[in-house]
Structures are given as structure tokens and as C-alpha cells.
Structure 1
């Protein structure tokens, strides 16, 4: 959206500031900054915002304007799509918005002027799972994969579903990918003989990884390092910035794909899924859609079975499998129901990538 398309001077000025940042920040960050400008465009003029927030970009970064802006954004009232209005923004998106506000304030406000930014609540993470429970999860899924039809409370877990969820659990335990990273996996992320699996880390994850390394080298706080690497450390001394950037440049590039060894049982589980998967992708008309490692089992509005599975579908498939396992094991002595969210399992495992990609 160009500055002329905004109705108020303040947002037009802010948009021009973002235009001038092109080339100095990544394309991904530019998209995020434009998203925040669009959100201001939808906020300014509402009853909650002070009238003077329409005058200049500097007025957008007063607490009188930022407080109602943040409340509206967090409540989902500034979303782009009308159908999504009122859906609260997730913490991850709010973190992006706050980071962008910090970057924009440094460009808009006079040098040395401080800005009060909204506080972001730290989410309470769900409890992790102990090693014995993780072993029970894998053994239980192996047993579940060989059982007869499972139907309960209107939910059916087919043989194909069980083969897929067992392979998913195996990869989750051995490589600890996020659901989005798992959804992005293709056959290219399987080493020959299924001895290892690759995880293509998202840019945010790579940034976190690099910041942690540089913080360890320099002795600085990881947040300070993250801000400088993101171009936000304007209130830090030149010596500190130089120290961080020199340490970062001395490190080798963060690998786009990290490889993790698969245990023998995991290899068997993945091979069984590949057999099931092949029969599914043969139904897909376009060969370009047949490369995803994780695919759908039944036709849907998106198309036939065998299409690439999205992160939400992965999470739902995992939840169905663990729910079925909890059904089956409910009467067993000492059994404690396992969490049905992939994230709790992912944070429960400690995985170490291979030093070199598999040959």
C-alpha cells in the first residue's frame, strides 16, 4: 500500500518511513512493518484513538495513542480480513508487532527520545513430559499401528492414519520440529535409507540460534544481541554494536536445514508411512504437488487425498492418534494420559543435530 492510499497524514508519514527502510532490512521484516502501518491505518480515526494521532507520525508513538492501538490490535480488531475481526492475535504475532513498533519509533522520534512500549505478557508454557512417558508414547504408537479398527465417540483412526501418526511421533521424538517446520518437509528432507531427517528451520528460529551463539561469545544479554542483529539497537553504544556484528560475521552461516539421525525403529515407521503415502500421492493430478513428506489421507475441499498437509492438519492428526492411545491405555495400571499437543512433546525432547549432512 502506497502513502497516498492512507487517509490521515500521520499514517502516510509512517508509510514513507517504512518505504525508506527498503534494502536495510529483510523482505520478511518489510512485510511485517507494512502490516503494522496498515494496522495504524485501520486504528486512526476510531473513537478509542486520540484525535491528534492523525496529525503526525510522531503522535502515533505517544502513550495516549499506543495504549489503545495495542488494545485494539491484541483484541484482533485491526486484522486485515473482515472475517477474522475479533479473533485475538496470538502472542507470537503480538511480539512481531511490538518489535516493529520499537523499530519504527527509533526512526520517527527525535534521537534520544524514549518511547513507552506496551508490555507483552509471557505465556505460561504447558508442562513437559518425562522420558518414561516419551518411551511409552512411542511404544504405544507402535502397538496402536498394528491393532484393528479403532472407532470411538464418532472418531475413527484408520490403518493409514495410524501409520502416519506413528511416523510423525518418530520424527517428533528424534528431531523435535515445530508443526510448521514439519509441514514444510519434503522427500528431499529424508536421507537415503531413511537414516536421518532434515528440518528446515524458519528464519525466526535461525535468528534465535545466531543470537544465542553471539551472546555466548560476547557475554552480552541475548535480548541485546537480538536487537542489534535486527537493527534495533540504536540506544546501544557503537562499541557494543561493533562487538556484536564482528562476532556474528565471524561465525559460519546458520544452516538452512539441520539433520537429525533417526533411530532404527523410527526408520521402520517412516518407511511404512512412505508406502502408504505413495498410494495416496498417485491420486494427485499435478506432479509438483507430490513432493511433500506429510500428505492428507482423505479428499477435502482443497482437493483429493495425497495433497500436502498443513501445520493445522498435522496437529490434528497427532491429537487424534494420542487421543486414541489414551483410550486404549486408560485401563492399564500406572498409565497417565499423554498430552495431545505436539508442542509439549517437542519441548520435552533434547535433540542434537548431526555435525555434517548425511551422505
Structure 2
């Protein structure tokens, strides 16, 4: 697509920049220039990123000339990346005022689309004004507020180290048996370090722990919130009904390439395929896990096969003898029981911040940073 179709010089210049790294002509695709990637390392953009870059060019084409945008933004490329222009563009984009389809104008962009637009702005700024430090907009994450005050997490970690020891843990007749306590404290420490969901804990194996208990692998299976067809339609600049028909196998008019792109985008939006992340474990987690592994070893000693699970039952249950993999529901119930008692036992202790009684609340209280990401197969 030629930059000449855009009405203002700055957007035409932006289109020319994108043409270099994501040419519209398939014949030029293999010879495309590289764009700055992670850490500033030049890489060739993917087909998905190319579509997103052109989407943002189109959004700029609809933004420039509006009263919210500075008048200078229409004159030259560099003016698109000044703070006033970026603030105005971002506000319009998030509010859904720059959507391609008129019927969708005014629908606020989903967070995933906001991230895609922001990532494209970073690429476009590095290509358009390489010598300028451009302050990019922030993507405001919706959701519930943390249920554990982050300022108290250091104290919680310190107490967990002490609690992982062999001293009795009981008060006024209430207590947690040693095996359950060891499992609970190790689980809490791992959740604080990784933000793992209960289902992700269930699937953990002993070999997910790194040498010296320095790190742990977490297999993420992103939660699917609806089909995501509206998001895919926005990304590809097509009607949502087209996405629905292709996914239902009912749109024979869609080209093979378009159908392929739609299915791939839907898979991405829906979180198809696991993602493996590695997290560094804190001192508290290492201490707690070391004690739990000793307890676990005694529990699985008489189990034939199936000894890979990190989290196992400590009591006879309907599911089987002690030492078998504990399921997500059992983990959640065990956590709730143990934390209720733990909070009672630790009430009034200096520095202790009561832990939430639902593991999901604890998970949302932290925002750990993985060491690196690997795409699972």
C-alpha cells in the first residue's frame, strides 16, 4: 500500500518508514529491512507485527487532522512522536475513536490491543526518530487491587523462612501437622515468587526445580476469556462476522491466506499452547522447598510409579494413598485450611501480614518477573 493514499505529509512519511520493514508487496518481503527488537537488537518483523504496524499507520491517518491532535502533527514525521501528539493519539486510540470500521468506533480498545499499539509505537519511534528518547504511553492494567500489601512481603518472606524450621507451630490448641505445614509454606513461597495459579502448581514436577533450588519452571496456560473474535477482527481490519464464519467453517469466500491469518490470530488471542517461564526462587522459597522435598521423599517412598509430582498428598484420601499428585481442587482446599490456621497462629507477630485465604488472591498480590520466556510446544 503506497503512502500516497494518506492525506497528510507526516502519515505518508510514516507509511514509507513502515514500507521498508514491512513492505506491502509480497515480492519485496524477503528483502525487507530489519527493525529494532528486544534490547535494541535488529530483527525482521513478523507477519503479525507487520499487520499491526500498518494498523497503527491507519490509526495515525484517522487521528491527524482531528482537533485533539496538535496541528504540527500533520507536517512532518517527527511531529507524530512529540509528547503532545502521542498523548492525544493514545487517548483517541484507547477510547476506540481510531478504529477502522465505523460501527466499532467508540468501543474501548481491549488491553491486549493497547499493548499491541504501544509495542508498535515503540518500533515506529525507533525507526522514525532514532536519536530521540520517546516517552511511550502506559497500558493501564485493569483488575483487582493486590490483597497483600507489597511493602509487607519482605516481612512475610522472613517469617516463612523461620516457619519452615522444625520448631512446633501451634497455639491455643490450634496447629498444623508438620507435613501439611511443610507443603503449605513451600507452596506459599513459590506462589509469592512466581504468581502461579493453582492449576499451574498442580502440574509442577520435581524436575521443574533448577539446580540448588535456584529457580523453578512454570507452565502457563493463559486463561481464555471468551472467543476473542472482536479483538481478532480489530487486529486484521475485517468484520467480526467474517472471523466468526471462518472459525465456523462457513465463509467460503475468504481467501486461504485470510482464513489462515484469522485462525492464527484467534489461537494467539485465546492463548493456544502453553508458555514456559523460569523464575528465580527467593531464600525463603529455597528453605521451604528443601524441607518439603525431605517430607515429600518419605511420602512417595512406597508409591509405585508417578513419583514426578512436586506437590503430593500427605494423607489417605478418596483419590488414593499419601504421596500421589494432589489435584488443583485439593491444593486450593488445603491452602485455605492451612492459611486460616497460619493467620491465627501468627496474629500479632511483628511484621506478619495476614495472608489471603484464597490462593488466587495471593497470586494477584505479586507481579514477579520471569528470567526468560520459552514457547512451549
Q: TM-score, normalised by structure 1?
A: 0.50
Indicate conservation of the 8 Å contact 1:138/1:169, yes or no: no
User: Is 1:344 paired with 2:361?
Assistant: yes
Match of 1:326 in 2: 343
Matches within 5 A, 1:293-312: 293-312=310-329
Structure 2 distance, partners of 1:134, 1:316, is 23
Does the 8 A contact of 1:218 with 1:243 survive in 2? no
Kindly state the Cα deviation for residue 299 of structure 1 after the two structures are TM-superposed.
Answer: 2.0
Q: Distance in 1 between matches of 2:183 and 2:201?
A: 13
Specify whether residues 126 and 246 from structure 1 end up closer, same or farther in structure 2 by C-alpha distance, changes over 3 A only. closer
Between 189-198 and 148-157, the greater mean CA deviation after superposition: 148-157
Deviations 1:220-258 (A, max 9, x none): 89xx79x769936989x9699776556679999855432
Unmatched runs of 5 consecutive residues or more in structure 2: 1-142
Q: Match for residue 157 of structure 2? A: 138
Could you say which residue in structure 2 is the equivalent of 1:176?
195
In structure 2, do the counterparts of structure 1 residues 337 and 301 end up closer, same or farther at CA, with 3 Å as the change threshold?
same
Q: Report the Cα offset of residue 280 of structure 1.
A: 0.7
Matched, 1:316 2:308: no
So what's the TM-score if we normalise by structure 2?
Answer: 0.48
| Rg larger in structure | 2
**What is the aligned length?**
225
Partner residue in 2 for 1:53:
none
**Structure 1 residue 282 displacement after superposition:** 0.2
Where do 5+ consecutive residues of structure 1 fail to align?
Answer: 1-123
How far the C-alpha of 1:330 sits from its partner, in A, is: 1.8
Q: Distance in 1 between the 2:158 and 2:186 partners?
A: 12
Whether the 8 Å CA contact 2:159–2:352 is kept in 1: the answer is no
Question: Matches of 1:289 and 1:321 in 2, distance apart?
Answer: 26
Structure 2: how far apart are the matches of 1:249 and 1:183?
A: 24
Cα offset, 1:129, TM superposition: 2.0
Report if the CA contact (8 A) 1:233-1:241 is conserved: no
Instruction: State how far apart, in whole Å, the 2-side matches of 1:328 and 1:128 are.
Output: 20
| Aligned position for 1:196 | 215
User: What's the counterpart of residue 271 of structure 1?
Assistant: 290
Distance 1:139 1:274 in 2: 20
Change (3 A) 1:323 1:142: farther
184-193 or 329-338, which deviates more: 329-338
Mapped contact 1:315–1:341 kept (Cα < 8 A) = yes
Q: Would you say the 8 A contact 1:228–1:241 is kept in 2?
A: no
1:185 Cα deviation from its structure 2 partner = 1.2
The 3 A distance-change label for structure 1 pair 246 and 144 is: closer
Secondary structure of 2:175 counterpart: strand
Residue 273 of structure 2 is aligned to residue 283 of structure 1:
no
| Cα displacement string for residues 5-50 of structure 1 (whole angstroms, at most 9, x for unaligned residues) | xxxxxxxxxxxxxxxxxxxxxxxxxxxxxxxxxxxxxxxxxxxxxx
CA distance in 1, matches of 2:321, 2:169: 24
- 3-state DSSP of counterpart to 1:270: helix
In structure 2, relative to structure 1, the CA distance for the partners of 1:137 and 1:265 (3 Å cut) is closer
Aligned to 2:48: none
